[in-house]
Amino acid sequence: MAEYREIITKAVVAKGRKFTQSNHTICPPHHPSSILGCWIINHKYEAKKTDKKVEVFGSYDINVWYSHSDNTKTSVVTEKVDYRDIVKLNYRDPDFLDDREVVARALQQPNCIEAVISPNGNKVIVNVEREFLVEVIGETKVCVAIHPDGCDCEDEWEDELDEEFEELNPDFLVGTEEE
């Protein structure tokens, strides 16, 4: 008859994933004639757990390269954008003991999908997408069977290690002097 033990360990007790598309309005100092490029840099974010959800909050810089003055000049306008995403959690382990540690990972860094001039012609509307995966790590119990006779596998490891030491050259570091 097998004997069992409960081991308390850390494991992922909940996960969540959220894809977001958002529009941002950028106000350049000159009326844009055309959009030449748009890119997003300096993405920073943090995550914190509140109830059964994780709040991911952060910021990034949107850079819009555009022409103005009837396509005779170009400029780049940069605007910092703050955001907040609420990610719902799916708990996998109903018997968790603690769930305060949160790990968030950007599956899709903020990326510009489209940048267009607004209908009134004085602003740029930027469509951005991003996606996050969050994991909540907590203490949980694992039940393991105890083998009454112990494990025989450790002897195999020792034999393999001994064979590796036999293959070592003891004069490797001493070597011969070069003339």
For residue range 27-49, what is the model confidence (pLDDT) as tens digits?
A: 999 999 999 999 999 999 999 99
Report percent pLDDT > 90 for the chain.
60
| pLDDT at residue 92, rounded to an integer | 76
Question: Is residue 129 predicted with pLDDT exceeding 90?
Answer: yes
Whole-structure pTM value: 0.74
Residue in this structure with the two tokens 């005779």, named with its chain if needed: 72
Q: Which of 101, 9, 19 lies closest to 54 in space, CA to CA?
A: 101
Q: 21 near 166, Cβ under 8 Å?
A: no
Positive/negative CA dihedral, 80, 49, 20, 130: positive
pLDDT per position as a tens digit, 67-119: 999 999 999 999 999 999 999 999 877 777 777 799 999 999 999 999 999 99
Please enumerate, as own/partner, the contacts of 50-53 that have beta carbons within 8 Å and a separation of 24 or more.
Answer: 52/14, 52/88, 52/89, 52/91, 53/16, 53/86, 53/87, 53/88, 53/89
Structure tokens at 107: 């599956």
CA atoms of 13 and 87, how far apart (whole Å): 15
